[in-house]
Structure 1
Amino acid sequence: MKRSAKGRVIPDVCVVTGTGTEVGKTWVTSALIGALQADGVPVIARKPVQSFDVDGGPTDADVLAGALGIEAHEVCPLHRWYEVPMAPPMAAEALGLPPLSLDELVAELSLPEVGLVFVEGVGGPRSPLTDDADTVDLAEALDARMVLLVADAGLGTINAVLLAVAALEKWDTIVFLNRFEPGNDLHRRNLEWLREAESLSPITSVKELSHQVQRRNPQRKAM
C-alpha cells in the first residue's frame, strides 16, 4: 500500500494484460486469485470495461467475480458491459453509446485501501481500451506497481511476448505462459528461448506465479 504526497491511500495495483485476445488472461487471474487467497493475501479484481459475445458464456467480470465470491457488477459496472465482441470504443460506437475516456473509467473504479488489486485491460497492451487510451495508458494512470502479461505457450509467442514487453518497459512485468505443457517440444523450446536468448523469466505454473507476485508485492496477510 502506498500513499500520495497528500497522504491519500493508493492501492497496490497489478494491471493484467495479454499478448492478444483469447490467451486466457481472465482465467489465469482467476486461478491466481485463488492461490493468493489460500495464502491469506487480501486481493480484489476490477475490469473497468468489457465487450463480449452474448452467446459466448460467462463474461470476464463473471469469472473474476466467481473467484472472489462477489457480484459481477462489483468487478465491472453494468453500464460498461458492451454486448458486442469488439474493442470497447468500437463496441460503444456500434451500440450508439457515447465515446469512452480513460478519465471516466478510472474515476468509476472502486478500489480498496488494503490488499492487492488486479485491474484487467482488454486484449493486448496496445488494444484500444477507450477512445483515448489503451492498457499501457491505464497502467500509467493507476500508477501500477507491476503488470502481469499472459501469453499463449504455442507458436508465435516469442514475437508476441517481445512486442508486449517492449510496450510495458516502464513496469516490473511478469510473463506467464498459459496452457504450457512440459511434454510439448514447442512449448519447451519457446520457454528456453525466452529465458536464454531474451533474458526473460517466464512462469508456467500458477503456484509459482503466486509466489512471484507476493515476492514483488509483499502484503500483510489477512487476519
Structure 2
Amino acid sequence: MLRIAIVDDHQIVRAGFRELISDELGFAIAFEASSGEEALEALSGQACDVLLLDLSLPGKSGIDVLRTVRQRYPQTRVLVLSGFPEERYALSMIRNGASGYLCKDCEPAELLAAVHTVHRGGRYLSPRTAQLLADEMLGSAAGSPHESLSEREMQVFVRLAKGASVSAIAEALSLSVKTVSTYRSRLLEKLEVSSNAELAAYAVRNGLIME
C-alpha cells in the first residue's frame, strides 16, 4: 500500500486530493495537515511514502517543510503541488530536493502518474518544467534573478518580503542575527534592490507572495 500525506491549508483542496487518492487502488491516506508544523508533527509518528506539499502554508512554509523532510525523512518523497506556475518555483524546488512540482490545476491522471513516478525514486517534471530545465541547460532561458537563489536564501527572502524582522527570521530558522543579516545583504545584491520594501515589491511582482 502506497501511503500518501496531504499538506495544504485549504480544506476543500485536501478534500479533492483525498477523494482522488481514495479512489485509486493501492493508495492510502497516511495523514492530512493544514500547516507545516502539523505536517512535521504527524511525520514524527506516522511514516508516509509520498508527501503532497503546498508551498503557501501558515507558520512554517512549504520550503521549510521540504528542507526538514529531506534532512529527517530522506525516504519520504516530496511532490510539490502549488498554485504558483512552474516559472516561479519549480526549478528552485527541484534543485532543493523536491521529487516533483505540479500546479494544482493539473489533470488527475497527471497527479497520479507523478505520485507513481516519485514513489519509484524518479523525478517528475511536467512538460513546462522540463522545458524550463532544458532552456536553462542550453543557456537559452532569460531566467529571473530569484531562480538562482539557494534554498536558505529563498527562505530568508520570503520572510523578509512578508515583513519579518531579521531577529524574528533568525529565531525561526535557528540562525544568528549576523548570519541572517549576511543573507539579507546577499539578497539585495542578487536581486538588485536596495531595501526590504523593494524586496517585497519584487516578490509580489514575481508572484512569490500574495499582496
Please tell me the TM-score bracket, short chain as reference.
Answer: 0.3 to 0.5
Which structure shows the bigger proportion of residues in helix conformation?
2
TM-score, length of structure 1 as denominator length = 0.36
Q: Which has the higher contact order (CA 8 A, sep 6+)?
A: 1
